[in-house]
Amino acid sequence: MLGTIINTITIVTGTIIGNTLKRGIKEEYRHVLFNAMGLAAVALGFNAVSNNLPKSQYPVLFIVSLAVGGLAGTMLNIDGWFREVTSRIGTSSNLAQGLSTGILLYCIGTLSIVGPVMSALYGDNTYLFTNATLDLVTSAVLATTYGIGMLWAAPVLFLWQGAIYLLTSLAGNIIPTTLVTELSIVGGVLIAASGFSILGIKDCKATNMLPALVVPVIFFLLKSLF
């Protein structure tokens, strides 16, 4: 768990640094950072998709996942609920947008998924330390735009990686690389969608599409049973 603890601490540290720097940044410069974060999210999302889609054994699965997950999330109105909750805990009116983007960036990706597995099986924290370094920078930039409320992404990351670590410790290497590939594709699309929302190009309501990440897991579970 050392790698996950370090990763969580770097997000807290980066958020505090970014929020502190925010006070001395003019509004026009914050706008530039806001756009930079949106562009970075789009680029990272597209990169995740382009890197993993050629390796996918089920190239249609991400389309089904987005469709089914998006419908489920819209029916549950996850975006509306998320915005209502974040409006009570943060001073930024866009905190919900920032948190959804941050959580996706921190949690969905090869480093954040494979990292706890490698840590649990072999005591190798290389992936998690690398992820922590990236998250330190990302959290600082996000906090300059969305404020101290971005700290709420830290416990989400801890629970996410902690759950993967615990499951792997109890059951061995139960997360196949093919599942990581599919999750990375779906996650990449959601990260890019968050970027479009930040840039004001299209409000895709990426939060409503979060259930799409569950669809590949269900698919692989069913596949293992039959």
Provide the token pair at 202.
């299209």
pLDDT in tens, 167-217: 888 876 677 889 888 988 998 898 898 889 888 888 888 888 889 989 998
Element (H, E) at 135: helix 126-146
User: What does R_g of the chain's alpha carbons equal in angstroms?
Assistant: 17
Average pLDDT over every residue of 148-175: 87
- Whole-angstrom distance, CA of residue 50 vs CA of residue 214: 21
| pLDDT at residue number 90 | 59
* Residue 91 pLDDT grade (very low, low, confident, very high; cuts 50, 70, 90): low
* Residue 89 pLDDT grade (very low, low, confident, very high; cuts 50, 70, 90): low
- Whole-angstrom distance, CA of residue 220 vs CA of residue 183: 11
- Whole-angstrom distance, CA of residue 193 vs CA of residue 106: 15
From 153, 155, 106, select the one nearest 133 (Cα to Cα). 106
Which of 108-122, 157-171, 203-217 has the lowest average pLDDT?
Answer: 108-122
Contact call for residues 13 and 143 (beta carbons, < 8 A): no
From 5, 8, 40, select the one nearest 145 (Cα to Cα). 40
Name residues whose C-beta falls within 8 Å of residue 157's C-beta, 6 or more positions apart in sequence.
4, 7, 8, 11, 103, 106, 107, 112, 135
Contact call for residues 182 and 61 (beta carbons, < 8 A): yes
Average pLDDT over every residue of 82-100: 75
| pLDDT at residue number 173 | 67
From 181, 195, 87, 91, select the one nearest 143 (Cα to Cα). 91
- Whole-angstrom distance, CA of residue 148 vs CA of residue 16: 7
Contact call for residues 212 and 69 (beta carbons, < 8 A): yes
| pLDDT at residue number 92 | 59
pLDDT in tens, 46-88: 988 999 999 999 999 999 999 999 999 999 998 888 878 777 7
pLDDT in tens, 12-50: 999 999 999 887 777 777 778 778 878 888 888 898 899
* Position 1, amino acid: M
